[in-house]
Chain A
Amino acid sequence: MTTTAAPAPTTEPTGERSTFAVRHLLAQIGRYTFLCAVLGFFALPLLWLATAPFDDTPTITASLPRFTLDNFRALLDNPYALSSLLNSVYLAAGTAALVVTFAALAAYALSRVRVPGRDALLYGLLLLSSIVTGTATMVPLFELAFRLNLIDSRLGVILILSGGLLPAAIFILKDFMDSTPTSYEESARVFGASPLQIMRHIVVPLVRPGLATVGVWAVANVWGNFLVPFLLLRGPDKAPAAVIMYTLYTEGGQADLRLLSTFSLLYSLPVALMFVFVSSRYGFRFHGGIKR
């Protein structure tokens, strides 16, 4: 922590000085107490997530568990639990692939071509994107999906989620594209590279940290999205984990804390692991090679 609460000076022990030291010490104690309280507030739910799945009678409080793996066994008996995680993977991977591909192409074009009113267009899209997958548009979206025969189809969910994520993804990636010097591309152009070759050989490797960021962000968004798959997918066989979690009740209609806590742990682990993996693999590094 800190040792700033220095002992009162011995040479000139005036009362004024020691009062100051005491006041300083109290201020420090107060500050750290406050910080600990805030930290505890955020840490306790995580602690619950870590202990409850291993407790044979979990409550909504975090406590030292009486260790058991029965909860995991019970979860395996649930016909939809594990397959729903796989469904989540399908939806997240499909959406992330679509979003990264199209956002990269669009951001590159928007970054390199001068279009009048480009920035207004970008900000407008960003504003509208929060509406596309928002609650307010669920009825028209359902209607649209119904007319297009995309009800109860994973493709429909992926398309709608991609539509919602694309504007922000373009916005993020355009920033990455803007910060790569155009002389790389011009150099490749003089050697005769086609636009798609430039994109593949030069631009994509250079903005890889940006692509990784957008990919992770898209996966995390889809992973946590409940409303869209809940409305568009009819049966539990295609439902992702976020929807299945909603069904984990006891016969009495009470939330089944044993299943719920165990499933929550399984549900959050993949995303956490993905963050660790991607940031260690693609972290925000830049190799240099342009002399500034």
Chain B
Amino acid sequence: MSAITMRELTKVYPGGVRALDALDLEIADGEFFALLGPSGCGKTTLLRTIAGLEVASGGSVRIGERDVTNLPPGKRDVAMVFQDYALFPHMTVRDNIAYPLRIKKVDRRSRGSKAADTADELGLSGLLERRPGQLSGGQQQRVALARAMACHPQVFLLDEPLSNLDARLRLEARTFLKRLQRELGVTTVFVTHDQAEALALADRIAVMEGGRIRQVGTPTEVFRRPANTFVAGFIGSTPMNLVDTRVQGDGLAVGPARLPLPNDAHGQVTDGERLVYGIRPEYLDYSPTPVASALTGEVVVVENLGSVSLVSLDVAADDTEAGDDTGAGRTSVQVVVAEGGEPEPGDTGWVVPRPGRSLLYRDGNLVTATAPAGVPAPRADAAARS
């Protein structure tokens, strides 16, 4: 069990692709850490570089007290679970789990019983003599986890651990994985492109884009205070509304509508400045009747998400040209509406941002954020829904 420290880690592939760009990251001992990002952002490369399957072009990786940058994978004391599980098809479940011990020259008898013990812990005891091809997806995943656990590594690396399971099983496996990590207390890094998975599982999340880390934080921080518009758009099962706005006195103008300036933005913005106003659909209240300080527009789409509905409004917005208030600029604003209150497409609706929930971005970066203390939790469990 150890912390992982990366300093200016760089990976350039022979073709010239810069997959990791001078990346600094610290993962604490015992932490369940998520690397999150769209495909091609370098998250898998980062995981493979920690494992030693890719050789860093620059910078360093430390696991605990040891600099492992130039060590081969087998000497790093890590275990990796691959996206396809990579269970050896010609070996039984027992032999698969015992394989790391076979490499470590543990004698046949004791590695067999150790494998059986590990399998027991993961509820695989009846399947020891089966081959991977005879197991279900969930069982295969648990065998892969058992194989990784059998060698008692300092660090677990999981590459897209849930992506090969079907939706129902994925939820079950997610809970299982989180409990297992708690019990083992081993530093675990996993890669995912699914923000819901990252929010649900991880103690902390690093959101990556283009080989760089855009934000590191707890799921709450990343969800409530995305540091930039990229993270704001990526996190959340319904992406954050990002609307062009203009500072006007002590308020914000979005097209013809005027919204209050977030409290602690006072003094940090200048009058007339162009910013991006961000608010999650969960933090907007829908009203079928006119209200003050609201955005208004026609309901275009109503999507039923079960306990809530996602309503898209066509809202008048600023044109990109300053001073052109002809209403030519339109933007779509999404709002989460609770069961029973759904409007019909074609209705006119008003949406009011909840106090203390709106964010302002200048050049894509967070200008300010509302104080996280004492604010209501997001409505419904929209964030955890996958």
Q: Which residues of A contact B (CB under 8 A)?
A: 181, 183-184, 186-193, 197, 201-202, 205-206, 208, 286-292
Contacts and interface: CB of A to CB of B under 8 A. Distances in A.
22 contacts: A186-B53, A187-B80, A187-B86, A189-B53, A189-B74, A190-B53, A190-B79, A192-B73, A192-B104, A193-B74, A201-B99, A201-B102, A205-B88, A206-B88, A288-B131, A289-B86, A289-B87, A289-B88, A289-B133, A289-B140, A291-B85, A291-B140
Tell me if A's interface is mostly helix, strand, loop or mixed: helix
Contact of A202 (B75, B79, B80, B88): B88
B84 A287 contact: no
A111 B51 CA distance: 22
Contact of B100 (A191, A205, A288): A191
Interface string B128-145: 000111000100100000
Contacts of A192: 73-75, 100, 103-104
B133 A183 contact: no
Contact of B82 (A183, A197, A292): A183
Interface string B63-76: 00000000011110
A190 B89 contact: no
A190 B73 contact: yes
Contacts of A190: 51-53, 73-74, 78-80
B53 A289 contact: no
B90 A290 contact: no
A183 B84 contact: yes
Measured as residues with beta carbon below 8 angstroms from the partner, the interface class of chain B is: 20 to 34
B62 to A, nearest CB: 18
Contact of A191 (B53, B85, B103, B137): B103
By CB atoms of chain B within 10 A, which of A187, A197, A206, A288 has the most? A187
B84 A291 contact: yes
A289 B103 contact: no
B103 A193 contact: yes
Given A190-B51, A192-B73, A192-B74, A197 B103 contact: yes
Given A189-B73, A197-B103, A288 B89 contact: yes
A187 B132 CA distance: 15
A39 to B, nearest CB: 39
A290 B85 CA distance: 7
A191 B99 contact: yes
B151 interface: yes
Contacts of A193: 74, 103
